[in-house]
Structure 1
């Protein structure tokens, strides 16, 4: 399917690996010019080169921390008039809520709520003036299905969801959409790290823990960054203009609900 976004310019935050990279690659395959972003400049350059080689797209790496004003300015200097923004950022590490002090909580809220809002503030009006904009926020299944130890991440992402529920709809008449993608158990470094930690704590093997967790998912497997990216690209496409304010679970059926 032609997604109708060839030639569009996309900023994909935190995209040197994992789900962000999957989104960047899918948008590049759709013909977008893509700004990729991460903290590790060497890994980011490799990612940009690999995506450009596979897709033929123009891919520009911007090594910066999107949680900072300087990082956001660097992204927008590389792409002043984006048509697409994919908000993504690392979440706080798993930790018992009793261990969270004020500074840790502030940092978590900056990472997963304030920073994406700041990026939207900087780009949404320009998108509306030009008559096209697609904003996708990568949040988490834990917004709907809390997981002990990820309370800070879940709370900040839920705050982002509520904040944008009204804001996003104010742009709908000008062909700017704002949607959230909620990944479940995706086969990323974060998931693998959690499995290794669980194996170490329990004395069970990594393979046993992995199989047990995959067995809890109706699809019987973990999701991939590639399929996540393709879903993201669809919500950024010309065909998704009538979809906004939605929270889309990408979880293989893990969240048990009818609505």
Structure 2
């Protein structure tokens, strides 16, 4: 399948490791110019150097000015931004009974505000050119809240509502907006969450992983590459009639329709 990504410019925040890095590599393999971005500048620059046409940018997107500066740098290096991947780290675990307004505001500052600013920086150009792809890395917690991750559930839910609304507003301009919801993907972030659950339950991380795998119909954790393939499809021209969707990549873990 021709994804139509050859020569396109893509921004992938949070791409020093994990899902973001896998997405950056996948887009690069399809011929896209990729801007890797993250707080760990040395890592994103090192990873960018391994790709055929990429640059690594050190940036903290919680800084209100950072999104516009990142987009400007991408445009200067490769031209107008065609693909925006919304991705970043998650807030710490926590329970709803102890969740405070201040913690919610912090989660929004991490998971919502930077993404709104990124969208604002690229959307006018996408609409003017009649092509754009916005793909958000979400969580299955958007559809089925995850125990012990109240901050993530709440803030990602807010982002999901915004993106669904946006999708309907820009579809006629050739801009699609989708979310991909990872389940148990084998990343450092999931390993940290497994350890946290193990500590609370008095088990080992290995036992916790085995329990989690037993709940997944596929019987295993997914790979970052499998997740990245879904994002890459939605970023390409073949997915031009898919918008406003939440696509799960979870091995069948979430049983709801």
TMscore range, shorter length: over 0.9
Note the residue ranges of structure 1 that are not aligned, 5 or more in a row.
Answer: none
The structural deviation recorded for 1:110 is: 1.8
Deviation at 1:112, TM superposition (A): 1.4
Q: Which residue of 1 aligns with 2:62?
A: 67
Contact 1:62–1:74 under 8 Å retained in 2: no
Q: Classify the secondary structure of the residue corresponding to 1:79.
A: helix
Residue by residue over 1:97-137, the C-alpha shift from the partner in whole angstroms, topping out at 9 and shown as x without a partner, is 34444332211012212221221111112101111100001
Count of residue correspondences: 253
Aligned equivalents of 2:38 and 2:49: distance in 1?
14
- When structure 1 is superposed on structure 2, of 37-46 and 225-234 the one drifting more is 37-46
DSSP-derived class of the 2:112 partner: helix
1:29-70 CA distances to partner (integer Å, 9 max, x unpaired)? 0100000011112222222123x1xxx2x1111111122223
* Aligned 1:99-114 pairs, distance under 5 A: 99-114=98-113
The 8 Å contact of residues 67 and 121 in structure 2, kept in 1 or not, is answered as no
Aligned residues of 2:68 and 2:117 also touching (Cα < 8 A): no
User: What is the deviation of 1:206?
Assistant: 2.6
Q: What pairs up with 1:77-116 in 2 under 5 angstroms?
A: 77-80=72-75, 81-116=80-115
Q: How many angstroms apart in 1 are the aligned matches of 2:207 and 2:99?
A: 31
C-alpha distance in 1 between matches for 2:161 and 2:239: 21
Residue pair 2:9, 2:32 contacting (<8 A) in 1 also: yes
Query: Is residue 48 from structure 1 mapped to residue 48 from structure 2 by the alignment?
Result: yes
Which residue pairs with 1:20 in the alignment?
20
Q: 1:256 maps to what in 2?
A: 255
Q: CA deviation at 1:203?
A: 4.0
Please say which of residues 3-12 and 104-113 is displaced more in the overlay.
104-113
In 2 relative to 1, CA 203–103 (structure 1 residues): closer, same or farther, beyond 3 Å? closer
> Against the structure 1 CA distance between its residues 101 and 201, is the aligned structure 2 distance closer, same or farther, given a 3 Å change threshold?
closer
Moved more, 24-33 or 61-70: 61-70
Q: CA RMSD in A?
A: 1.5
User: Which residues of structure 2 form unaligned runs of 5+?
Assistant: none
